[in-house]
Amino acid sequence: MPTAQKRQPKVARTLIVVPWLEGGGAQGALEGILGQLPVQDSTLLILFGGNRNHDPVKKLVHKTIELGLPRNPLGVLKAALQIRGYVRDSNRIYSLMRGSHLVLGLLPARAFAGRRLAASFHQLPSTDSVGIQGKVEDVLVKRGVRRAGLITAPSNRAVRELIGAGFGDSRTVKIEHNIIKSVANPPVPPRTGTLESVRLVFAGRISKQKGLDRLPELLKNVKVPVHIRCLGDGEEKRSVTDLHKNLNPIHTFEVLSHVDDVASHLDWSDAVIMPSRWELNPLVVWEARARGRATIGSRIEAFQDLEKNGPMWLFGDANEFEEIVSTLATRPDVRVMAFDEALESSQNLNTRSSIVDYLGS
């Protein structure tokens, strides 16, 4: 009688590990990558709870597993225990951001033997490493990503920081600008003439980082009516929703939930508004450029970098903000110039992900 063969585990060719998904820029970047991976080969593993607006990602993979663990040290430990089986049954692994790198850093090196691992960073290491907790986490994050054959970040500044801080070396750490979704409709040209009201769009996760609470101060000297459309969800949404109470009545502050179709709102706008406290390389800036729109942003290092390769109007205080809005309203030639510069800069964006090539090779 023939001996029964031992059943081999079904291999998920690519395991995508993410800490959480909330419809922000990292999720948008992930969608660009997943759009180039074979659906039948990919499993999405979401470690922690509190996810929202992530249905578009789930449609791009064969299977989604949500562990729903708490976002605290105990949850990190439990995630490390539960993830081992999924890693064992995979031969290619992609870790999206710091939270998933942290969990992978708790696994023994042998768990990754014979497996390709790629990892991405979506915040500057210098921002994430602040304080005792950040420095303790860095030890595990480095342990996780040093096993990767490819580590990416969407800005040169982040690449330099990653190498300088020892997360990887120049052989493994590479720049990869986030891949944005393609839109079938052509960009809508800017409005002509003097504007009676300036239209600004914010799109992203509504958090303290984004600086939306600064808007009443920024708008206090602005004489031109401004209509701000805020797209997104997040922990600061309730307080942001009440911002209109502190604005001059000539201004309009409209709050919508997360939308998948950002392009139509960008086409409606005259520019994007980002009064952020810190950033790396926000996806919405590039989505706006692909639609011919400039970004009005705070004068932080990340935006000073982005100013070098596309239209970025920066402010340091309310007076500079007022000057930018006034120019936008009264100078149609500036709007046209920004439209042309934005489209030109977006033509140099990635169309093929190096992460996909690495995992598939």
pLDDT digits over 51-106, tens only?
A: 999 999 999 999 999 999 999 999 999 999 999 999 999 999 999 999 999 999 99
For residue 239, what are the contacts with CB-CB under 8 A and spacing of at least 6? 213
Contact by Cβ (8 Å): 94, 355 = yes
Looking at residue 259, its pLDDT comes to 85
Buried b (16+ CB within 10 A) or exposed e, 262-277: bbebbbebbbbbbbbe
For residue 212, the 8-state DSSP code is G
**Residue (of 131, 124, 133, 120) closest to 164 by Cα position:** 124
Q: Which of 165-179, 235-249, 262-276, 295-309 has the lowest mean pLDDT?
A: 235-249
Q: How far apart are CA 71 and CA 82, in angstroms?
A: 15
Q: How far apart are CA 104 and CA 172, in angstroms?
A: 17
Q: How far apart are CA 317 and CA 276, in angstroms?
A: 13
pTM of the model: 0.87
Distance between start and end Cα atoms, the chain: 42
Contact by Cβ (8 Å): 181, 351 = no
Q: Computed from CA positions of residues 243, 245, 248, 249, in that sequence, does the dihedral angle turn out positive or negative?
A: positive
**Residue (of 45, 87, 50, 80) closest to 62 by Cα position:** 45
Looking at residue 6, its pLDDT comes to 43
The residue among 216 and 177 whose pLDDT is bigger is 216
> What own/partner pairs with CB < 8 Å and gap ≥ 24 does 9-12 have?
9/88, 9/89, 10/89, 11/89, 11/90, 11/91, 12/41, 12/42, 12/43, 12/62, 12/63, 12/86, 12/89, 12/90
For residue 293, the 8-state DSSP code is -
SS3 116: strand
Over the stretch 165-176, which tens digit does the pLDDT of each residue have? Answer: 999 999 999 999
Going from the C-alpha of 145 to that of each of 27, 210, 277, 360, the distances in angstroms are 19, 27, 27, 19
Buried b (16+ CB within 10 A) or exposed e, 117-149: bbbbbbbbbebbbeeeeeeebbebbbbbbbbbe
Q: What average pLDDT does this structure show over 271-284?
A: 95
What is the band of 37 on the pLDDT scale with cuts at 50, 70, 90? confident
Going from the C-alpha of 143 to that of each of 49, 100, 147, the distances in angstroms are 24, 12, 7
- The whole-chain average pLDDT of the chain stands at 92
The residue among 233 and 68 whose pLDDT is bigger is 68
For residue 56, what are the contacts with CB-CB under 8 A and spacing of at least 6? 31, 260
What is the band of 180 on the pLDDT scale with cuts at 50, 70, 90? confident
Q: What average pLDDT does this structure show over 195-206?
A: 95
Share of the chain above pLDDT 70, in %: 96
Structural domains of the chain, ranges and CATH numbers in brackets: 12-176 (3.40.50.2000), 198-346 (3.40.50.2000)
Q: In terms of residues, how long is the chain?
A: 361
Buried b (16+ CB within 10 A) or exposed e, 237-250: beebeebbeebeee
